[in-house]
Structure 1
Amino acid sequence: MTTYKSSQDWIAGIASQGVVTIGDPRLKAPTAAVDVIGEVEALLDEMVARLRALNGAGLAAPQIGASVKAVVVEVRKTDVFPDRPEHPLTQMVNPVILRHSEELVTDWEGCFSVPGLMGLVPRHQHIQVSYLDESGNTVTNDFHGYAARVVQHEVDHLAGVEFLNRMPSMDSITTVANYLTHHRP
């Protein structure tokens, strides 16, 4: 588990991984569907490496400057979220959310592209997603709980949507340091 001495160290780690941050037009640019999985194999490998270096749960291609429909998700326990349920590495190309539960759960989210800030975001508790896996196979998968939250967050990036856009109120926005001190369960 990676531990940072301060939120400034965490932000420096994000910058060192070349993550595109809020305000950069690449985060809002349209993303293209991938026709041939071989076109993004190296990109997926790079995304997994950066996700793990940052000790995160998800990363979308636009966050590293690539305007294609690709996301990687791997939920592991971290110092910020030590109790979250784990989910194995899932690489998704051209993901489409087919169905979602009516039930919404509001919880804290952060984002590498919005470094140092967190906010309360409502998300569907369960979703069903169709995508191409890293081998080019069409997969339909169900995601629940925290994994569903991460997938929705990353798929939003493919449409130029940041978690801040999903917050019903900016009243809950806080720094990572304040989250750790005052809001973490």
Structure 2
Amino acid sequence: MAILKIARMGHPVLARPADSVPDPTAPEIHDLIRDMVDTMIDAPGQGLAAPQVHVSLRVAVFLTPPEGDPPQRELVTLVNPSWQSVGEEQDIAWEGCLSVPGLRGLVPRYTHIRYSGTLPDGSRLDREVGGWHARVVQHELDHLDGILYPQRMDDLKDLVFESELRHRAPLQPEEREE
């Protein structure tokens, strides 16, 4: 297991669609996933996509928001994932990104989505989610298509340094870097 270097905005690996993974159960994919989880936790972040660690493959890991009683977070690992909106409703919220350090932006996202992908054991995961969970999935899967959150913003005046965010709106606890 290793902590991997995180690519920053401007690096070409972040600007192109990632390649599909032919065998999600391959040992090298399991090694990549372990290293991505270690890197995400070390950063600390809420999610991480393979292109963010200079690997152009369709792999993403993320933590779900606390759910259940008692509230618990789940680590989700997806290979070759996809998503689609359920309805047209969107909301706007502050997002950050490990590949865009020190900045936050107001980003519109669908409030309810369906996502699916292959798990590292070869089984499928299909879910319908809303709220912050839906936002995290959209953010991470955008990385697999070569999209960073500033490209989703309606107005770049809403891209601010974290140190200046206090002048705009309070940062919610779940709005950590992804």
The 5-angstrom pairing of residues 1-185 of structure 1 reads 17-37=4-24, 38=26, 39-75=28-64, 87-180=73-166, 182-184=168-170
What number of residue pairs does the alignment pair up?
163
Counterpart Cα distance in 2 of 1:45 and 1:181: 38
User: Which structure has more RCO (C-alpha within 8 Å, separation ≥ 6)?
Assistant: 2
Structure 1 counterpart SS, 2:128: strand
Counterpart Cα distance in 2 of 1:146 and 1:92: 18
What letter matches 1:147 in structure 2?
Answer: H
Q: What TM-score do you get using the length of structure 2 for normalisation?
A: 0.85
Task: Check 1:158–1:69 CA distance in 2 against 1; reply closer, same or farther (3 A cut).
Answer: same
- 1:130-164 CA distance string (max 9 Å, x none): 10012111111122211110110011011100000
Unpaired segments ≥5 residues, structure 2: 172-178
CA RMSD of aligned residues (A): 1.9
How far is 1:102 from its partner? 1.2
Query: Which of the two has greater helix per residue?
Result: 1
How far is 1:182 from its partner? 4.3
Unpaired segments ≥5 residues, structure 1: 1-15, 78-84
Structure 2 counterpart SS, 1:143: strand
Counterpart Cα distance in 1 of 2:134 and 2:148: 16
Structure 1 counterpart SS, 2:138: helix
Counterpart Cα distance in 2 of 1:99 and 1:120: 19
Counterpart Cα distance in 1 of 2:4 and 2:20: 25
State whether residues 18 and 64 of structure 1, in contact with CA within 8 Å, keep that contact through their aligned partners in structure 2: yes
State whether residues 98 and 130 of structure 1, in contact with CA within 8 Å, keep that contact through their aligned partners in structure 2: no
Task: Check 1:29–1:74 CA distance in 2 against 1; reply closer, same or farther (3 A cut).
Answer: same
Counterpart Cα distance in 2 of 1:27 and 1:130: 22
Task: Check 1:103–1:86 CA distance in 2 against 1; reply closer, same or farther (3 A cut).
Answer: farther
Task: Check 1:101–1:159 CA distance in 2 against 1; reply closer, same or farther (3 A cut).
Answer: same
Q: What TM-score do you get using the length of structure 1 for normalisation?
A: 0.81
Displaced runs of 4+ in structure 1, greater than 4 A?
Answer: none
